[in-house]
Amino acid sequence: MLHPELTLIVAATRNMGIGLNGTLPWTGLKKEMAYFARVTRRVSAQLPTATSNAVIMGRKTWDSIPPKFRPLKGRLNIVVSRSHPSYSSLQKQEEAQVEGPVKVQSLEDALTYLKSASGTGKAFVIGGAQIYDAALKLPATKRVLLTRIQSLDFECDTFFPLELDEQGTNGWVRKSKDELDAWTGETVPEGVQEENGTRYEFQLWERVG
């Protein structure tokens, strides 16, 4: 992938709350989590069978994943942390994957790595707030896959750094259900879903221009 695009994938309340005390403010959204897993793992049938997508995250997000579930299976895991030493060669990066994720110091380093790596498909930024904020400043970020939690009741201390409104006044527009299905490669459940008393909706937003 010569010029990797970044897709931010996030679940957020109506006021864009995404976290509380280092974890999700809500629980029990198994179907929503399964959607996240499917979309971030699914590779286009047109790509070689050895291709895998990348999930890029900050160190705190990595630490928040239960150890038995990390690295996230079937995906190239990239962890951004300033405390990680820089890798001087692609070979060292590939060796690092044997025991854990690829570790880089910035999103720019992650993009550089993806440009050099073989067998990579889509690249997803999965959190947290600082990584999302850094990604939104990069021209490589083209879209946001948003699970809109239809509630303001959840207490949050961490927020997604972008307001997504239907007016499209901030340079982002919501795409149609057909466009969401086409991009994810599946028929996404339409309209408001409900699990464990929490209502939510799957959406796709793209940057204009």
Catalytic residue IDs: 24, 32
Distance CA 162, CA 31 (A): 25
Distance CA 39, CA 54 (A): 11
Long-range contacts of 77-81 (CB under 8 A, 24+ apart): 77/101, 77/102, 78/54, 78/102, 78/103, 78/104, 78/110, 78/113, 78/114, 79/103, 79/104, 80/56, 80/104, 80/105, 80/106, 80/107, 80/109, 80/110, 80/131, 81/105
